[in-house]
Amino acid sequence: MLTRRILAIVAAMLLFLPSCGLAEGEPPAAGRDLMIDRILSTAHDLYDKANGRRQRAHYSGDIYVCKNFTTYVFRENSGDFFMAEYPDVKLVIPDNQKKEDCKPYSYGVEWMDISAEDGNPFYAAASFRYDTSLSKEENRKLARAFMMQVQRGDYFQMSAKYYYGVGAHSLIFTSDYLPDTDSVKWTDSNMKGEKVEGIRYGYVQYDAEKSIDWFVDAFCQKTRGATLYRLREDIVLKEK
């Protein structure tokens, strides 16, 4: 039994090894860093504009719905960039995977699988899925290792059950994992929210900070999990 568990843990940890978004000898990440800067700057502008006030996050077109917020800040900036490998392809951000295609896991653990050739500049840098063949503590160890891989600009997609609600949530990390405090910082909308006369309103956050165990508590549960999406290294700024 112990050997089987060890093998399962090793196999699961292989999921944390990032895919290569760039072949050897391809351009450096200057364009990628600039794109991340602009995405986060747009998120910060929305945070400043909201100024602590709730924003409508009820209808499908409201940009303050969680995934809409992260998608909006991407689309506001993606038109100025392209992938060196696919210079003529417009950059797109995938929608969340359909509920039926997430099974046996819950909706919200991942995005639709769109190829770079079709415009997706992200790759799954790491993922965690609760493994029922392992103990709760073994799952938590894997979930913590997953969260330690967070990098600035990573998009985060999770299915969670936590203080603020149950279901899918999307956010963007604003810094690398902080080992000194064992924490992460992020920007999002509608993690915190409320209903007023039947209409949902959300609050915008920027540089919100929690320990990684706070996130582990949220998504390290049966049928749940999370994915880190990272921009490829070959992002290039278009010439004006």
In this prediction, residues 38-63 reach a mean pLDDT of 97
Give the integer Cα–Cα distance in Å for 231 and 125: 9
The pLDDT of residue 232 is above 60: yes
In a domain, 240, yes or no: no
The pLDDT of residue 6 is above 50: no
Token output for 140: 């938590």
In a domain, 66, yes or no: yes
The pLDDT of residue 18 is above 90: no
Give the integer Cα–Cα distance in Å for 122 and 154: 9
Number of domains in the chain: 1
Half-sphere exposure of 163 (CA within 13 A, CB side): 7
pLDDT tens, residue by residue, 145-198: 999 999 999 999 999 999 899 999 999 999 999 999 999 999 999 999 999 999
Give me the chain's average pLDDT, please: 91
Give the integer Cα–Cα distance in Å for 155 and 235: 16
In a domain, 53, yes or no: yes
Can you say whether the dihedral through the CA atoms of 54, 56, 57, 63 is positive or negative?
negative
Residue 238's pLDDT band (cuts 50, 70, 90): very high
Instruction: Provide the domain limits for residue 229.
Output: 2-235
The pLDDT of residue 9 is above 80: no
- Are 111 and 157 in contact by the 8 Å Cβ rule? The answer is yes
- Are 95 and 111 in contact by the 8 Å Cβ rule? The answer is yes
Half-sphere exposure of 116 (CA within 13 A, CB side): 21
